[in-house]
A and B are shown apart, each in its own frame.
Chain A
Amino acid sequence: MLVAERIVVASSLVWAAALLLWQLLAAWGGGRKDYSARAGSPSRGVLYNFAAAMSPVRKEAARFHPFKFAVGMVMHAGVAFAIVKTLVILVRPETPPVTPIPLGGFFGIAAAAASFLFLRRFFSPNLRPISNFDDYFAAFIVAIYLATASLQDFGVVSAGVFLLVGAVTAFYIPLGKLRHVLFCPVARLDLGRRLGYRGTFPATRGAKK
């Protein structure tokens, strides 16, 4: 059942995982020892940067742009669910579709969110000058992936089509900006560790009077 499609998507996932791992190691480059005398706790800094620092109260990018930030969150939540859906079909293709209306509806909303971000990039005077093909294509392929997830839940397209779109998306991840799926958490980890080491994080009162 869906043998060819599953092989294709599995190959793409292996390709993406292998390249991302290679890119991570290349970017790390062995790292560098910090010779300065530690003043704080790197682990507490990391915890802070993955928890309180991500709340809109502490993050102006979210606080000043609640709608755009929410749209981004919806899209990313949709992608996370779509990846789970892909893995479920990959491992157990006989699994029946689950609650198609709520989940398919959510994928539809997430696809609309991705489309909004694609169009915003095109029309925003701030974003257009710094955008390249990769920026547009990444938003486009994610919108298609989410739309296919939605349509598959509603029975409009087959699971095979959804898997193939997933395979294309996964293949593209390490080639362009979609690799931020790995590098965003890694960057957050690095900043949290560094500012925790120096005692800046955890920060608790900066935004308040």
Chain B
Amino acid sequence: MATEIKTENTRFSVGDAGQVMRAARAALAEKLRDLAAYHMDACVRCGLCGETCHVYRSDPVPENLPAAKAAKVVRHFRRYHTAVGRVAPFLVGAKRLTPEALDELAEAVYGRCTGCGRCGLNCSVGADIGVIIRTGRNIVAAAAKVPSNLQTVVDNQLNTGNQMAITVEELRETAAWLSEDLQLEMGDEDVRIHVDEPGKRVFYLVNPREVKFFPLSLSAAAGVFHAAGESWTMSSRFYDVTNYGLYSGDDDAAARITRQVMEEAARLGAEEVVLSECGHGFRSFRWEGPNWLGEAYPIKVRSMLEIMLEYIEEGRIKVDASKNAERVTLHDPCNLVRWGGVSEPQRKILSAVVSDFVEMTPNREQNFCCGGGGGMLSMSEYGDRRVRSGAVKADQIRATGAKIVATPCHNCADQLLEVNKKYSLGVEIQAVCELVYNALVTG
């Protein structure tokens, strides 16, 4: 008989409880092919990882210890995949998957961790706790217990092509008026936001946030493309650079989102996909996407940062650093830098387009998460924790004395806007391409 498992985190009815647990166990078993068991067996729960985590630093309770969050996943691994865990679970802290255990797991892996992976880099033994946490999310997603607001974003992407359910008409209207503004601003009637134009070299993906609320970065990117003489277009249907399947732990959904975008790129005949400034979008499309699909992409995928640096280095755009005279610091998005390997292009760009660039400490792969990663921004139930965990980043920003925080991630930008208010930092948050656009020397 079908049973509705009702918890705060359950969004929709699922099959009977046995089916749910079997699905969760299957997700755990599947994830072991990603070598997650190596890391689960490596963590010795030494507890030295606390200070590496922005969530623990801002609220040092035992539950926020990365090892404690990992332990919530490892106990299920031990129950189903170790001999002692099967025979005498109490000896090794093994635990069966139950609806209650899944709720606890969800609270730990969604509510207390952004999956930034900083703890793994600083782990005393080298265990990648980020992989363990994502295994936890895979399990919870398989049991259909993803926090409802996060699941809504995934559903929007699957059903409408973009996470904010923006209609095709709205996208086209926005592109039209942004183009008019840009023509006036640049004094050039040819500049515009290209939509649904086949045969262009670059297929550009943006964060729907740019279309809906913060169009400056979209028009800045259009301005940079135009100045570089780039052949580019967006799609009115599949233009979303984000992929919330990465956050929810639903790899099937993540694969479908990836596929619809890559098929659109092929339909438009693009030679290259360029990703707007988005940390998890970069990680999803550049690194995880081919593995979700189980095949290599036929075309190249790059970040907007990489292509802007190419324009500068090849002299395709001219920039004047004195146009950005205020002190600028840089926030490194975890998924772009630690998980994505892109740390230097943004630095080279900023060194060229601003006159006073200062680093945060620590930075690059050792950066602290802003607190908004891992889908936290969409999970309102954890909003207080999210903003509190931004205190670490606020301290880093304050110490630089910067007036502008550049961040190549719209997710981070949203969190930093809140952090800016909450901790009275008095800074502006800008995308890197906005600073490049501002420094352009035209004519």
Q: Which residue of A lies closest to B34 (CB)?
A: A32
Residues in B neighbouring A92, C-beta threshold 8 A: none
Instruction: Please tell me if the beta carbons of A27 and B294 are within 8 angstroms of each other in the complex.
Output: no
Instruction: Please tell me if the beta carbons of B62 and A61 are within 8 angstroms of each other in the complex.
Output: no
Instruction: Please tell me if the beta carbons of A200 and B338 are within 8 angstroms of each other in the complex.
Output: yes
The yes or no answer to B113 lying at the interface (CB within 8 A) is no
Q: Which residue of A lies closest to B293 (CB)?
A: A35
* Assembled-state Cα–Cα distance A59/B301 (Å): 32
**A residues 155-209 with Cβ under 8 Å of B?**
175-177, 179-180, 182-188, 190-191, 194-195, 198-201, 203, 205-209
The yes or no answer to B249 lying at the interface (CB within 8 A) is no
Instruction: Please tell me if the beta carbons of A126 and B365 are within 8 angstroms of each other in the complex.
Output: no
Known: A28-B35, A198-B341. A69 touches B48 (CB 8 A): yes
Known: A134-B93, A176-B84. A35 touches B62 (CB 8 A): no
Residues in A neighbouring B362, C-beta threshold 8 A: 206-208
* Assembled-state Cα–Cα distance A186/B40 (Å): 11
Closest Cβ of chain A to B237, distance in Å, is: 25
CB < 8 Å neighbour of B35 from A182, A190, A200: A190
Q: Which residue of A lies closest to B68 (CB)?
A: A130
Residues in A neighbouring B43, C-beta threshold 8 A: 180
* Assembled-state Cα–Cα distance A200/B297 (Å): 21
Known: A34-B291, A135-B45. A129 touches B35 (CB 8 A): no
Instruction: Please tell me if the beta carbons of A133 and B91 are within 8 angstroms of each other in the complex.
Output: yes
The yes or no answer to B46 lying at the interface (CB within 8 A) is yes
> Considering residues B48, B90, B295, B364, which has the most beta carbons from chain A within 10 angstroms of its beta carbon?
B48
Closest Cβ of chain B to A174, distance in Å, is: 9
Instruction: Please tell me if the beta carbons of B41 and A183 are within 8 angstroms of each other in the complex.
Output: yes
**B residues 333-355 with Cβ under 8 Å of A?**
337-343
The 10 A-B pairs with the shortest beta carbon distances in the complex, nearest first, are A132-B93, A199-B341, A188-B126, A206-B366, A35-B290, A27-B37, A187-B42, A183-B41, A206-B364, A198-B341
Q: Which residue of B lies closest to A134 (CB)?
A: B92
**B residues 369-417 with Cβ under 8 Å of A?**
none
Instruction: Please tell me if the beta carbons of A127 and B91 are within 8 angstroms of each other in the complex.
Output: no
Instruction: Please tell me if the beta carbons of A186 and B366 are within 8 angstroms of each other in the complex.
Output: no
Q: Which residue of B lies closest to A73 (CB)?
A: B124
Closest Cβ of chain A to B34, distance in Å, is: 6
CB < 8 Å neighbour of A127 from B47, B295, B297: B47
Spot the interface stretch: B4-12, B115-123, B211-219.
B115-123
Q: Chain A contact residues (Cβ within 8 angstroms of B): what range? A: 35 or more
Instruction: Please tell me if the beta carbons of B124 and A61 are within 8 angstroms of each other in the complex.
Output: yes
Closest Cβ of chain B to A209, distance in Å, is: 5
Which of B's residues lie within 8 Å of A, judged by CB? 32-35, 37-39, 41-52, 62-63, 65, 67-68, 71, 81, 83-84, 90-93, 120-128, 286-291, 293-297, 300-301, 337-343, 359, 361-367
CB < 8 Å neighbour of B366 from A134, A137, A207: A207
The yes or no answer to A23 lying at the interface (CB within 8 A) is yes
CB < 8 Å neighbour of A209 from B51, B93, B361: B361
Residues in B neighbouring A29, C-beta threshold 8 A: 32-33, 37
CB < 8 Å neighbour of B340 from A59, A198, A201, A208: A198
Residues in B neighbouring A177, C-beta threshold 8 A: 44-45, 92
Instruction: Please tell me if the beta carbons of A175 and B84 are within 8 angstroms of each other in the complex.
Output: yes
CB < 8 Å neighbour of B124 from A59, A201, A208: A59
Spot the interface stretch: A5-13, A36-44, A77-85, A102-110.
A36-44
Residues in B neighbouring A201, C-beta threshold 8 A: 365
* Assembled-state Cα–Cα distance A129/B341 (Å): 36
Q: Which residue of A lies closest to B128 (CB)?
A: A191
* Assembled-state Cα–Cα distance A64/B60 (Å): 15
Q: Which residue of B lies closest to A176 (CB)?
A: B92
Residues in A neighbouring B51, C-beta threshold 8 A: 60, 64
Closest Cβ of chain B to A189, distance in Å, is: 8
Instruction: Please tell me if the beta carbons of A35 and B91 are within 8 angstroms of each other in the complex.
Output: no
* Assembled-state Cα–Cα distance A29/B32 (Å): 7
Instruction: Please tell me if the beta carbons of B48 and A209 are within 8 angstroms of each other in the complex.
Output: no
* Assembled-state Cα–Cα distance A130/B337 (Å): 31
Can you offer 27 A-B residue contacts whose CB atoms are under 8 A? A34-B290, A36-B287, A54-B126, A58-B122, A59-B122, A60-B122, A61-B46, A61-B123, A62-B48, A72-B124, A124-B47, A126-B50, A131-B45, A132-B91, A137-B91, A176-B84, A180-B43, A180-B44, A182-B41, A184-B125, A187-B41, A188-B42, A191-B126, A198-B339, A200-B339, A205-B363, A206-B367
Residues in A neighbouring B62, C-beta threshold 8 A: 125-126, 129-130
Residues in B neighbouring A34, C-beta threshold 8 A: 290-291
Instruction: Please tell me if the beta carbons of A27 and B47 are within 8 angstroms of each other in the complex.
Output: no
**A residues 9-67 with Cβ under 8 Å of B?**
23, 26-32, 34-37, 39-40, 49, 53-54, 58-62, 64-65
Residues in A neighbouring B67, C-beta threshold 8 A: 130
